[in-house]
Amino acid sequence: MSKSLIPPVVLDFGATVFYRGRRHIIQQETQDFETVVLLELESGKLLQAPITELTSAESLPESTHKDIYVQDVEKQVEAERKFEIIKPLLDNPRCTFQDIQNRAVEVGIHFVTLYRWLNLFETTGKISVFMRQQRKGKGVTKLAPEVDKIVTDTIEAVFLTQQKQTVSRVIREIEKLCVKAGLEPPHQNTVRKRINALDAFRKTKARKGSKAARDSFAQIKGHFPGADTPLSVVQVDHTLVDIILVDDIHRQPIGRPWLTLLIDVFSRMVLGFYISFDPPGNLSLGLCLAQAFLPKEKWLAKLDIETATAIPTLNEHAIGLRVRSVPRMEAERDQEFFIDSKPRFDKVCRIGLDS
């Protein structure tokens, strides 16, 4: 259901809303634009709930699941088991993240699974939502046997060759053979999905050769040259994190952040990091270096992280190991930060902070 078809939540006094899988009536309108006072119809209890967790009672979709009593008994038992696990959380109007974690530990499941069950139940408020419907025909081709054989043979003979024919050429060849055999050609997307589903190693080996396949997919063996001791070689790399951050109030997407890491090759220890929405550049690398060089007691205290002993800085590690030269820094794109000489360690700190 698209967002445009879902009616907005009415926050007027006496309006009916849906909260944590139960119907409630608004008893007091919002004063801070963040929470409202609700009356639970079943128990008659008053509770305060955040507006962001309310949904319109009229927007609930009709359940597409069959009646719970006419379905498989084993599925029914499993659905009731899941409901009994989340029931204490549904009954707690002030349920917190810590409550969910404690409940997850108590029942022996991951808290993310518990979150998913809660969100799934709140879509309809019915136990039958946990009774999955098996998709019929999943993974089974719907092509006629004759057409399926033509598609398979053509992909083998035309696409999986070192001539590196295009997908369009394969599609044209399949259409030509089907018309010649008096069969209806498959849709172009069907052929494209079949080619995309091919094993990547097999595809590369057939089109580019065994060496290219080994170089791309085989495990790299051997030792990184020069990384014989801690801090002998330090690598800097940037990656676009595979998450989308949202704002705290309206839950609207902001974007994917960039993560810059400073990693010691010998120990694989992360010496420093920096997260930002800005693309990689001098600023992100400089701040990542600064975070690795400088003491971390204040930073840990700001995050309420207690440590038994003081955290040594990168410079203190080097002194303890009697390293007289700076670790070799390797960065792919930030060549102005590449350090290949052997200056004093404190001078390198100033280079990373002043740049």
pLDDT of residue 178: 92
User: Within a domain: residue 327?
Assistant: yes
Structure tokens at 177: 């053979």
| Contact present, 103 and 87 (Cβ < 8 Å) | no
User: Within a domain: residue 53?
Assistant: yes
**Together in a domain, 243 and 345:** yes
**Together in a domain, 257 and 328:** yes
The pTM of this model reads: 0.35
**Average pLDDT of the chain to the nearest whole number:** 77
pLDDT of residue 260: 94
pLDDT of residue 309: 60
**Together in a domain, 350 and 237:** yes
pLDDT of residue 308: 59
Q: Are strands 233-240 and 328-331 parallel, antiparallel or unpaired?
A: parallel
* CB-facing half-sphere around the CA of 126: CA atoms within 13 A: 16
Phi-psi region of 322 (alpha: psi -120 to 50; beta: other; left: phi over 0): left
pLDDT of residue 240: 92
For residue 74, the enclosing domain spans 68-130
pLDDT of residue 319: 39
Domain end among 80, 101, 130: 130
Q: What angle do CA 149, 154, 156 make, to 5 degrees?
A: 100
Residues of the chain where predicted confidence (pLDDT) is lower than 70: 1-7, 30, 57-72, 132-141, 219-221, 308-355
Cα–Cα distance, 94 to 108 (Å, whole number): 22
Exposure string (b/e) for 20-52, b if CB count within 10 Å is 16 or more?
A: bbbbbebeeeeeeeebbbbbbeeeeeebebeee
* CB-facing half-sphere around the CA of 194: CA atoms within 13 A: 26
User: Within a domain: residue 172?
Assistant: yes
**Together in a domain, 34 and 53:** yes
How many domains does the chain fold into? 4
DSSP string computed for 87-154: HHHHS-TT--HHHHHHHHHHHTS-HHHHHHHHHHHHHHS-GGGGSPPPPTTTT---S-HHHHHHHHHH
User: Within a domain: residue 225?
Assistant: no
Q: What angle do CA 330, 336, 341 make, to 5 degrees?
A: 60
Q: In this structure, what CATH number is given to the domain that contains residue 197?
A: 1.10.10
**Together in a domain, 241 and 326:** yes
pLDDT of residue 175: 92
Distance between alpha carbon 269 and the CA centroid of its chain, in Å?
Answer: 23
pLDDT of residue 193: 92
Tens-digit pLDDT profile for residues 72-120: 677 888 888 888 898 888 887 778 888 888 888 898 888 888 888 888 8
Strand partners, 185: none
